[in-house]
Amino acid sequence: MNNDQNSAVINLIQAMLGSFTSNWRAVFLKGDSRSMSVTFVLATESREDREEIEDVTFEFEALQPDSDVSIAVLVSEAPIETFADAGRMVFARKE
């Protein structure tokens, strides 16, 4: 991992503080200093969780001003390993 991605991981964790619910299964980060992709995996569809993800996105973008940030929200009960291509796992709930 490079320093840009390590800094982005710290910024994403900071942006997510206090936002997790039991519905959040995992969060992945992929990219470099210019372009970041964040993937949130939810167990079930939730308007409240999607609103929380919007707040996290806003906070993360503020902490990564030089990066183009894209967000994906997946709703799935598939094994977490299914999403390995989504990037570096930043958060995973105990399952």
Q: Return left, alpha or beta for 4; rule: phi > 0 is left, psi -120 to 50 is alpha, else beta.
A: alpha
Q: Which of 12, 19, 24, 15 is nearest to 75 (CA)?
A: 24
- The class level of CATH for 3-92 reads alpha beta
How far is residue 51's CA from residue 62's CA, in Å, rounded to a whole number? Answer: 17
pTM (two decimals): 0.94
Domain residue limits, the chain: 3-92
- Report pLDDT digits (tens) over 8-60: 999 999 999 999 999 999 999 999 878 999 999 999 999 999 999 999 999 99
